[in-house]
Amino acid sequence: MGKISYIMFKKTNEGDMMEKVLVIGSTVCDIMIYVDQLPTTKGDVHVKEQVMSVGGCAYNVVNVLHHLEAPYTFISPVGTGMYGDFVKQSLKETGIVPEITVDEANGCCYCFVETGGERTFISHHGVEYTFNPEWLKHLDLDEYRYVYICGLEIEERDGDKIIETLKGIKAEIIFCPGPRGHLIETSKLENVYQLNPVVHLNDSEVMTLTDTHTVEEAVVKMYEKTNNKVIVTLGEQGALYYDGQLTYVSTSKATVVDTIGAGDSHVGGVLASLSIGNDMIDAIAFGNQVSGKVVGVQGVQLGKETFEKLKALL
């Protein structure tokens, strides 16, 4: 098991057909609260800074696809209320057009960020975590090569509807269980695994989800559940890829401001690279580059110049 460094990225030939990505999931208002350290019960701390930003796992993926000009369809319900209005305006400013609007209130996510960049989420879920199969009726699902789904939506009340809708789909499913993956009902998880998804998660998530003590043991156990590839992000150590054998994909050193959206943005980078025909290892290496840029800023919003540099690597 040697560590692999990827510095150069393969480009596809001009004229190669780009593969379409379907992204199903949430767009939320993130309220990022920066503190030295989270208080304990009855504690009292001062906030260093507070920032409102658009976020959500699925949005973070689409944000990367959109700015890297990869073809995607975004199925993410946007609701009403102050948070819904904020999301609508933020999407408009980004140039992402919401496909679905619903007359129910959006929730929000409070993201507490400690010195060092680690984050703790307290979420109030609204309409953004719902799903209706009718939202896909206008789509030809055979046109899509990849479909992204997130554990937060599977955990919620409409999770079974997402699973049922994706049964028999030709596209490869990318499933990100997230930090609450172990809290998803066992029957729902087993039904997702029956879809044979590529599972993408971080080291602590995969060990918790498989009840194992090492990442290497965990990816083997996950592979046995899904019969498909497993991608595990390892922070500054890059990522681990398992397709029957272990491959470590290293990354360059990054300065961490916060880790909000790092995993989601990694998925977005992987999907953007896959959409132009790169193989999985090159796609993971590119995902490492994207997430390395995201941890260096507040939230997930990278500047135009940064995205142009990333596009040059594709």
- For 53-80, the pLDDT digits (tens) are 898 999 999 999 999 999 999 999 999 9
pLDDT at 9: 32
pTM of the model: 0.88
d(CA 201, CA 125) in angstroms, rounded, equals: 22
**Tens of pLDDT along 143-186?**
999 999 999 999 999 999 999 999 999 999 999 999 999 999 99
Q: Which long-range contacts (CB under 8 A, 24 or more apart) does 231-235 make?
A: 231/198, 231/199, 231/200, 231/201, 231/270, 231/280, 231/284, 232/200, 232/201, 232/202, 232/203, 232/206, 233/200, 233/201, 233/202, 233/203, 233/262, 233/263, 233/266, 233/291, 234/202, 234/203, 235/202, 235/203
* Percent of the chain residues past pLDDT 90, beyond the cut: 74
pLDDT at 246: 96
Statement: residue 101 has pLDDT above 70 = yes
d(CA 30, CA 39) in angstroms, rounded, equals: 20
**pLDDT confidence tier of residue 130, bands split at 50, 70 and 90:** very high
Statement: residue 3 has pLDDT above 60 = no
Largest separation between any pair of C-alpha atoms in the chain:
61
Statement: residue 11 has pLDDT above 70 = no
Question: What DSSP line would sit under 272-313, residue for residue?
Answer: HHHHTT--HHHHHHHHHHHHHHHTTSSTT---HHHHHHHHHH
d(CA 33, CA 146) in angstroms, rounded, equals: 34
Statement: residue 49 has pLDDT above 70 = yes
pLDDT at 301: 79
pLDDT at 258: 65
Q: Look at 153 and 295; give whichever has higher pLDDT.
A: 153
**Tens of pLDDT along 17-42?**
789 999 999 999 989 899 999 988 99
Q: Averaged over 129-143, what is the pLDDT?
A: 95
d(CA 232, CA 99) in angstroms, rounded, equals: 31
Burial of 9 (0-12, 13-18, 19+ CB in 10 A): middle
pLDDT at 8: 28
pLDDT at 260: 72
Please state which architecture CATH assigns to domain 3-27+57-77+128-313: 3-Layer(aba) Sandwich (3.40)
pLDDT at 5: 30
Domain assignments of the chain as residue spans, ordered by start: 3-27+57-77+128-313
Mean pLDDT of the chain: 90
β-sheet bridge partners, residue 241: 231, 247
**Tens of pLDDT along 217-260?**
999 999 999 999 999 999 989 999 999 999 999 988 887 876 77
CA distances from 90 to 128, 156, 182, 235 (A): 15, 25, 32, 28
pLDDT at 6: 29
pLDDT at 299: 64
What tokens appear for 258 in the block?
A: 């916060």
pLDDT at 294: 85
pLDDT at 225: 97
Based on C-alpha coordinates, what's the Rg of the chain? 19
